Amino acid sequence: MTCRTFGPPVRSGPEEGLAVCELCYHGASDEQIAGCEMQPDPDNLEERLIADAEKQTGKHGNTIVAWCLAGPGG
């Protein structure tokens, strides 16, 4: 469950360290962990895609990937 909670190493803020599952990275150096770092949506693409989908369809609210891909231009 811990691995699913933490997932890959991700920073929770610019000044924060990497949050990782200690079981997955047991014995790994800081450099090895940093090499696995994931930056989710660094260009804020999701927000722009959702705004575009809402504008094109007139639908608003929570979305799922399949809905976005099935939309116009997806």
Contact in structure between 68 and 53 (CB atoms under 8 Å):
yes
**How much of the chain, in percent, has pLDDT values that exceed 70?**
73
Tell me the per-residue pLDDT of 43-69, one tens digit each, with 9 for 90 and over: 878 888 888 888 988 888 776 765 666
Model pLDDT, residue 44: 79
| The model scores a pTM over 0.85 | no
Confidence of residue 73 (pLDDT cuts 50, 70, 90): low
Domain positions in the chain are: 2-35, 41-74
Q: C-alpha distances in angstroms, 45 versus 1, 33, 41, 51, 52?
A: 29, 25, 6, 10, 11
Higher-pLDDT residue of 27, 71: 27
